[in-house]
Amino acid sequence: MQITLADLDDSRVVALLETHLRTARAHTGEGSAHALDLSGLRAPDIRLWAAWEGEALLGVCALRRLSAEEGEVKSMHTAEQQRRGGIGGALLRHIVATARAEGLRRLSLETGSWAYFQPAVALYARHGFVPCGPFGDYRSDPNSIFMTLDLSAGGPLDRAGG
């Protein structure tokens, strides 16, 4: 598997991101889905990566810089047929390593509270993310779960293999 910066003009990347947006919106309350569309992912404060095995797109993830010290995990999505294969963990470790290398001290995320999102919540918890309150522009919402990782404290993702 190779993780590279994603090309938002690649039809395979676009199709997976559209699937991500559609499923996120379908599995949460109206007005509570915070997945970014393509224009949102083109913002200068966001970098998007794609995981590839040859020509097969396995998953995508993005890092949004919120401030000089804080970033946000965005658009984590593993292709349906690739789930439970370690792709999500690899993408998450990539984001955390990038954030640490850039001097970020905190990495936060928002995900859904509905059953569909429970595997994602478990993935984040396995990698050291803990519940927190809303951050950035988010507001308290029963359809959202907020989690954070203190990058300055080290933690599970510092160990080999994460």
**Domain ranges (residues) in the chain:** 2-158
Percent of the chain with pLDDT over 90: 67
pLDDT (tens digit per residue) in 33-76? 788 889 999 999 999 999 999 999 999 999 999 999 999 999 88
Structure tokens at 97: 């390593």
Name the CATH architecture for the domain at 2-158: 3-Layer(aba) Sandwich (3.40)
Please list the alpha-helical segments (H only) found in the chain.
Answer: 11-26, 38-41, 87-101, 118-126
Residues 6+ positions from 90 with CB-CB distance below 8 Å: 1, 3, 51
Helix, strand, or coil (residue 25): helix
pLDDT digits over 1-35, tens only? 999 999 999 999 999 999 888 888 877 777 777 88
CA 132, CA 83: separation in Å to the nearest integer?
Answer: 26
What is the reported pTM? Answer: 0.87
Indicate the helix (H) or strand (E) that contains 78.
strand 70-78
- DSSP class of residue 28? S
Distance between CA atoms of residues 154 and 151, nearest Å: 6
Q: Is the predicted pLDDT of residue 156 greater than 80, yes or no?
A: no
